[in-house]
Structure 1
């Protein structure tokens, strides 16, 4: 019985390359082990790119379906984590393209409202001290043009190379470098007040 906890625990100890190979041969338990292992990473990636928990869940599901169908095309089974994250990045970008006609992405699922401190709160210095660097970065990222934000998130959060980002976004590595450079300049400028 493949769904038993004992088998699941044993599969969680198996190296990626073996799991990917077995999954490519149709072993659903091996694929489920990969999904358990990298699902949280994929969800975090999708959440950062889409800005939405609900969209992130949909993206991960789409990416896993695509991975199951295309697992036999994976050239380097040991690199399954990076491959799954690239699929997630691609599906996230597809989701953003579908949403392009809607309101500008916000940093959180807040119904499209701007994230600002409520009126009557302490002054800017106190607010800056209370607001974490993560929140400030989310706001700065939300202000980046979509193409720059995608590159930055894929590079900084997912650790992808310029070539991997270029492949995910279907652009040249030189375009990736340019977008990342512009994103970094904009982020440094936006984050200047938070230092």
Structure 2
């Protein structure tokens, strides 16, 4: 069906009535009109593009098979949403029954072990101490660049310094921190 087809401007009621009479072009116009919205809804519910496509396709097949039973042809949109919602919920229910116990007891990532957490805490304390030993201007430049993610020009403007001074302060701060944090490499 061409996007400029007369059916693309027809009301939902007319399209649903024609689809109920067996007109595939009218049903295709409904699919084009509501397909993207239904797919977006299914993705939100399921969290999966592949499953969303399947749910929308199954819903349209179901709609084609039952459009003649639709009592009020003016509520096509909400009827299609309900079909997609029911199919998506059905998928979610099926998912729950197929989970393996190993999914629930999966080991945590190595970075979350107690030893690694203590090490990271000690490393952050050492960095904090090393930053405390820097001159104030170097520390401010380093924090604005490395923590704040500011550009050199923005740091210069914030601290009312020339860009060349900011580059020098950052260079000295990085050298001092590398030296102080050598044992943590």
TM-score by length of 2: 0.52
Aligned match of 1:59: 55
| Alignment correspondent of 1:73 | 69
Q: How many correspondences in the alignment?
A: 104
Q: Choose 1 or 2 for highest CA Rg.
A: 2
Alpha-carbon separation, structure 1, partners of 2:34 and 2:45: 17
Q: List structure 1 segments (4+ residues) > 2 angstroms apart after TM superposition.
A: 101-104
Root-mean-square deviation (CA), in Å? 2.5
Paired residue secondary structure (1:75)? coil
Query: Is the helix fraction higher in 1 or 2?
Result: 2
Deviation at 1:103, TM superposition (A): 5.2
Q: Which has the higher contact order (CA 8 A, sep 6+)?
A: 1
Aligned to 2:130: none
TM-score (normalizing by structure 1): 0.49
CA distance in 1, matches of 2:62, 2:96: 23
- Aligned counterparts of 1:17 and 1:10: Cα–Cα separation in 2: 14
Consecutive unaligned residues of structure 1, counting only runs of 5 or more, are: 105-112, 114-125, 127-195
State which of 3, 18, 26 in structure 1 corresponds to 2:14.
Answer: 18
Task: Determine which of 13, 35, 38 is the counterpart of 2:34.
Answer: 38
CA deviations over 1:129-166 (Å, ceiling 9, x no partner)? xxxxxxxxxxxxxxxxxxxxxxxxxxxxxxxxxxxxxx
